[in-house]
Structures are given as structure tokens and as C-alpha cells.
Structure 1
């Protein structure tokens, strides 16, 4: 059995700074892309992962994960976390959320039916709260 390939941390940091992709790094070091991602996290050069669990608190079926509402919720979440997507996606998410808020609607989720616009419940508007956090982050 051969020795496992290793990733030189200093070289990894240098190559990441040059803008090398994960695929390029994996080929360079002779490891899997997963191995590169683990090494980047260990070296402190991985981009922080965004957590969208507050924006999408449901267990979403795969077929609904790329729907308009799911995408807009993730984009609002990214904005609120200080990592906004491209401006066109920001504008789309903000307009979508504002339309719901103005109409007194919120978003709900059913694992079979998918996302739906629903009246705002007694606990307030999920979309409205997320919209406010996104707007605060944008300044």
C-alpha cells in the first residue's frame, strides 16, 4: 500500500490566493476535491459556509429545492448574512419578498405540494422578518 497523498499547507494557501479552483487543486495535489475542501477548512482558507436553515426551516424535497421561493429565500438569507448574490438576484428576491409583505402573504411549505403563498399567521411574517434582516444588511 502506498502512502496517502498529502497537501502542503503553505503551498495550498499560496495556490488558493492565486485563485486556483478546487478541481485544479485536487489535480495538483493528487487528491479528491473533498480532500482539498477539508484541507482548505483546516488551513483556514475556505469561504465560510452560509447557513440558510433559518430562512428555509423545512425539510425540503429535492424537487422543490430549486423552485422560485426556495431560491429567493436562500438569496435573502445570503444578503442577511452579508454575502449577497449578484445584484439581479438581490433585486428579484427583494421584489418577491416585498410583494408578499404588501399583500399580507407569507410562504409556507408542504413536502408534497411544495412552496405556496399563504396568509400571514399569528406569529407574523417569516418572509417579512427575513426581508427586514436583508435590508438591514444592505444598509
Structure 2
């Protein structure tokens, strides 16, 4: 008895073909259907082949564990946008300008942000040793000016 296509054998994704199809603009969903794998399998293959954009790490800009209710708040969004700019990722000009204006206002007024999981973000006097917002702003401005 012959088994056509070995049972339990994992489908393979040809790297050269994957690269060609990614360059042609094929979506992850389309790639998954083409190769007969899950979308997760395509994403893993793209990472292994160096075809995936590196993921951003906002841990320096948002060092807190945010509750769901605060994750999309103005301060969180502004800090994420500044972080993305600092990491060289393009940010829509209106979003970047909003984040820059917000951060510059706080720094000019000697303020910083604090985070509480229940209360959310608040503006507080900046510590004499420096401001978290000032550091995030500085990294973003340097990256934007360099880029």
C-alpha cells in the first residue's frame, strides 16, 4: 500500500520561491494558501529567511505593564509613536507631530509622566535627575534628524 504524500510530513516552503512571491507583493494569507501551510508557518518562514520586518520593541518608551483600558490612551500612543520613530520606523507625519508637540510641552514645563494600573497616566513634576519623556523625545528627535 502506497501513501501519496507521506502522512505527518510537514510541508516545506522553498526560500527562493518565498522570496520571489514576497517581492511580488503576495499577502501572508495568499502565501499560506499557495504553500499549503498556516499563516503562522509563513511568518516563521519569512523570519527565518530574513524577509520579515523586525518587530519594534517599545519597552524603553513604555516600561510599564499597561492595563487594556490604558493601552490606547494619548500618552501611550504618543510614547509608542516616538519609540517607533526612534527605531527608524516611519510614523505618519500627523501622528509624529502630535507626539513631538506633546512631549516638548511636557519637557518645557518640567513635567514627566507616571503610570498607575488603576488610574492610568498622569503628568507629574520631572525628577531632578531627568525625565522619562525627555529621554524618549531625545531618542526620537535624533533618529528623525539622522534619517
Both proteins in one fold, TM over 0.5? yes
TM-score class normalised by the smaller sequence: over 0.9
Question: Structure 1: where are the runs of 5+ without partners?
Answer: none
Return the index of the structure with the highest Cα Rg: 2
Alpha-carbon deviations, 1:106-136, whole Å to 9, x = none? 1111111111111112331110111111111
- Establish whether residue 99 from structure 1 lines up as the match of residue 105 from structure 2: yes
- Establish whether residue 123 from structure 1 lines up as the match of residue 123 from structure 2: no
User: How many pairs were matched up?
Assistant: 139
Distance, in Å, in 1 between the alignment partners of 2:97 and 2:33 is 38
Distance, in Å, in 2 between the alignment partners of 1:70 and 1:38 is 29
1:14-25 alignment runs, 5 A limit: 14-25=20-31
Please, what TM-score do these two structures have when normalized by structure 1? 0.93
Aligned to 1:82: 88
Aligned CA-pair RMSD: 1.3
1:13 equivalent among 11, 14, 19: 19
Distance, in Å, in 1 between the alignment partners of 2:123 and 2:30 is 43
Question: Structure 2: where are the runs of 5+ without partners?
Answer: 1-6
Runs of 4+ in 1 over 3 A off after TM superposition: none
